[in-house]
C-alpha cells in the first residue's frame, strides 16, 4: 500500500472529487480525516470507508477560518501525533460575466478557493516540518488558463499555482513537497445534472473524447503523496484528457 498509516486531511471531502480522494487514500492504507464545511456532510463518506474496512474520521470547519483550521489540525496532531498529508480540495464557483459579477460573487470565491488553500497549508507546515516529512497537494483547474464567465474562479486557480510553487521553494529543505492537480471537465454531480446535449459539447472539446472520472483526479493525488513522487515538488499536473494542450 502506498500510504500505509499516513494521516491525511482532505478538505471538501463529502462528495465528488474529494470523496474519491478519500476512498482511494483509505484503500491505500491512509488514516483519512474527511473534512467539509459541516461535519455531518462528511459522515457519509466516512461510513462508506469504514464499511469497506478502511480508517476514516469526519471533521467540519470553514477552510478560510484561521482559528477553526488551526484547531482542527491541532486536534489531529494531538490524536495521531502527526499530520502527513494535506489535500486542499475545497472550492466553490459563482460564475458570471465580468461586467455583471458582483463583489459578493468575487469575494466568496476568492475567500474559499484561495484563502481556503493558504490557511490550511500554513497551519500544516509546523507539524510536517517537525517530522521532516509532509505532502501538500493543492487543487487548481484548467480554468486557471482563462475561462469566460469565471473571472473569480480562474483568478483563484491561477493563484493556487503561484502559491504551490512558492511553498515548494520555501519547504523543499524541510522534507515537505507541495504540488498541484489541475482537473478538466470531471463527471461530478454538477455535470451529471446538465442536459445530455450540453455534456456532449464538453466532450467535443476533449481530445481523449470523454469526461474525466473523479477517480482520475484521485490517482493524481495518490501519485504526488506516494513514494513515487519523492523527488517531485512545485509541479502542476493537468488531468484533463488533453484539453489544456489545445488551450
The 3-state secondary structure of 112-172, one letter per residue: HHHHHHHHHHHHHHHHHHHHCCEEEEEECCHHHHCCCCEHHHHHHHHHHHHHHHHHHHHHH
pLDDT digits (tens, 9 = 90+) for 174-186: 999 999 999 999 9
Per CATH, the number for 7-185+214-238 is 3.40.50.720
User: How much is the pLDDT for 134?
Assistant: 98
User: How much is the pLDDT for 199?
Assistant: 82
User: How much is the pLDDT for 190?
Assistant: 72
CA distances for 242 relative to 12, 180, 203, 208, 218, angstroms? 25, 17, 11, 7, 17
Residues catalogued as catalytic: 153
User: How much is the pLDDT for 234?
Assistant: 98
What is the mean pLDDT of the segment spanning 33-41?
98
User: How much is the pLDDT for 198?
Assistant: 79
Residues 183 and 145: beta-carbon distance below 8 Å? no
Amino acid at each position: 500500500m502506498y500510504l500505509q498509516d499516513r494521516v491525511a486531511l482532505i478538505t471538501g471531502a463529502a462528495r465528488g472529487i474529494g470523496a474519491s480522494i478519500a476512498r482511494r487514500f483509505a484503500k491505500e492504507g491512509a488514516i483519512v480525516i474527511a473534512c467539509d464545511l459541516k461535519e455531518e456532510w462528511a459522515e457519509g463518506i466516512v461510513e462508506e470507508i469504514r464499511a469497506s474496512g478502511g480508517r476514516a474520521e469526519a471533521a467540519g470547519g470553514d477552510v478560510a477560518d484561521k482559528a477553526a483550521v488551526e484547531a482542527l489540525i491541532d486536534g489531529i496532531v494531538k490524536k495521531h501525533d502527526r499530520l502527513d498529508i494535506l489535500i486542499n480540495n475545497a472550492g466553490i464557483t459563482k460564475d458570471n460575466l465580468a461586467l455583471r459579477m458582483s463583489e459578493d460573487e468575487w469575494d466568496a470565491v476568492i475567500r474559499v478557493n484561495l484563502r481556503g488553500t493558504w490557511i490550511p497549508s500554513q497551519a500544516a507546515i509546523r507539524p510536517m516540518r517537525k517530522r521532516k516529512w509532509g505532502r501538500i497537494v493543492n487543487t487548481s483547474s484548467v480554468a486557471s488558463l482563462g475561462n469566460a464567465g469565471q473571472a473569480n474562479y480562474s483568478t483563484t486557480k491561477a493563484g493556487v499555482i503561484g502559491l504551490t510553487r512558492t511553498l515548494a521553494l520555501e519547504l523543499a529543505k524541510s522534507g515537505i513537497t507541495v504540488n498541484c492537480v489541475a482537473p478538466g471537465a470531471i463527471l461530478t454531480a454538477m455535470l451529471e445534472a446538465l442536459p445530455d446535449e450540453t455534456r456532449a459539447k464538453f466532450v467535443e472539446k476533449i481530445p481523449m473524447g470523454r469526461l474525466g472520472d473523479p477517480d482520475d483526479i484521485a490517482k493524481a493525488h495518490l501519485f504526488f503523496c506516494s513514494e513515487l513522487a519523492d523527488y517531485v515538488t512545485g509541479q502542476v499536473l493537468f488531468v484533463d484528457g488533453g484539453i489544456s494542450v489545445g488551450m
